[in-house]
Amino acid sequence: MSLKHTYPIRCPKCSAELEEELYDSINVVDAPALRDQLMANELNAVECVHCGFKFRVDKRLLYNDPDRQVMVFWFPGNEAEYRTNKEEFLESMDALNTALPDEFDPPAVHLVFTRTELIERIYLLEADLNERVIEYVKYMMYSRNLEKLDPKKKAILFNAEDSTEEALCFVVQDLDSMQLEGMLQFDRSAYEGLLEMFDNDEKTAHLMELFPGPHVSARELFLQDQE
């Protein structure tokens, strides 16, 4: 079930105080149109009744895909803000798991901090790709070309639209301008090889050590190392 509540917000253009219904969670099996709205940048969009200005409200959102048994929690902000509010997030996940019937396994919960991460993670899950192995691929891309791919300035994003049966595609985004600068490819057979390599206890433990979650990010790993 998708849930929404009424929130007091302020128009960023005319500063009028508004009361708007905004989604807290969406179930894309029960309401696939909400998935389309999210991808089209229309979910939690508001039009000010006073000045007509249209804007999107970025707030915490739980994306639920029961068919794939996964949830993606969007926590607008960054790693530092999450650490401050980590207990609140964990309590929410505990409450969710407690509410599930005993015969149901708790769904995997993915944590993301930006809308871009949210959209990317949805595409990854829909393509049945392993998010930790994909982030490991990004980790290798950063490691091999840090001069051009400085994680402080560049993000590497999975590109589902241009990926093929032969190659997985990624785009490089400049974080200052938010412009896409180029495309990188990774042989899909090499990805399958990584999947096979990590399919044993020792290698899986290493992968989980690199990306323990719930926020799985090669870029964040590099930033933490640099700190």
In tens, the pLDDT along 24-71 reads 999 999 999 999 999 999 999 999 999 999 999 999 999 999 899 889
Residues 153 and 69 placed together within one structural domain of the fold: no
Judge contact between 3 and 61, C-beta under 8 A: no
Instruction: Look at residue 18 and tell me whether its pLDDT is greater than 90.
Output: yes
Residue type at 81 in one-letter notation: E
DSSP string of 73-100?
Answer: EE--S-HHHHHHTHHHHHHHHHHHHHHS
Number of domains in the chain: 2
Lowest mean pLDDT among 68-77, 94-103, 118-127, 135-144: 94-103
Q: What is the pTM of this model?
A: 0.88
Domain boundary among 116, 147, 162: 116
Confidence check: pLDDT of 100 > 90: no
Is 94 a residue whose pLDDT tops 80?
no
24 falls within a domain: yes
Give the percent of the chain with pLDDT over 70.
Answer: 93
Same domain, 162 and 105: no
Alpha-carbon distance values, 171 to 87, 126, 158 (Å):
34, 18, 7
Domain containing residue 89: 3-116
Shared domain for 13 and 105, answered yes or no, is yes
4 bridge partner residues: 23
Is the same domain home to 62 and 139? no
Q: Sorting pLDDT into bands at 50, 70 and 90, what band is 96?
A: low
| Same domain as 186, residue 147 | yes
Residue 164 belongs to a domain: yes
CA distance 104 to 127: 24
**Nearest Cα to 198, choosing from 185, 179, 211, 187?**
211
| 121 in any annotated domain | no
Instruction: Check: CB of residue 22 under 8 Å from CB of residue 57.
Output: yes
- Of 116, 146, 165, the one marking the end of a domain is 116
Residue 110: CB partners within 8 Å, gap ≥ 6?
Answer: 70, 71, 72, 73, 121, 125, 131, 213, 214, 216
Asked if the structure places residue 19 within a domain, the reply is: yes
Residue 189 one-letter amino acid: S
DSSP assignment letter at 107: P
- Whether 23 shows a pLDDT value over 80: the answer reads yes
Residues 141 and 98 in one domain: no
Domain annotation covers residue 203: yes
Q: What is the pLDDT of residues 124-153, one digit of tens each?
A: 999 999 999 999 999 999 999 988 999 999
CA-based R_g, the chain, Å: 19
Give the pLDDT mean for 112-123.
94
141 vs 154: CA distance, rounded Å:
12
H/E element holding 23? strand 17-27
Question: Of the residues 83, 116, 149, which one is the last residue of a structural domain?
Answer: 116
* Inside any domain, residue 169: yes
Beta-carbon-side half-sphere exposure of residue 49 (alpha carbons within 13 Å): 5
Task: Say what the pLDDT of residue 99 is.
Answer: 58
Q: Is residue 137 part of a domain?
A: yes
Select the more confidently predicted residue: 86 or 202: 202
C-alpha span between 164 and 162 (Å, rounded): 6
102, pLDDT greater than 70 = no
Residues whose CB is less than 8 angstroms from the CB of residue 155 and which lie 6 or more positions away in sequence, other chains included: 116, 172, 173, 175, 219
pLDDT confidence tier of residue 104, bands split at 50, 70 and 90: low
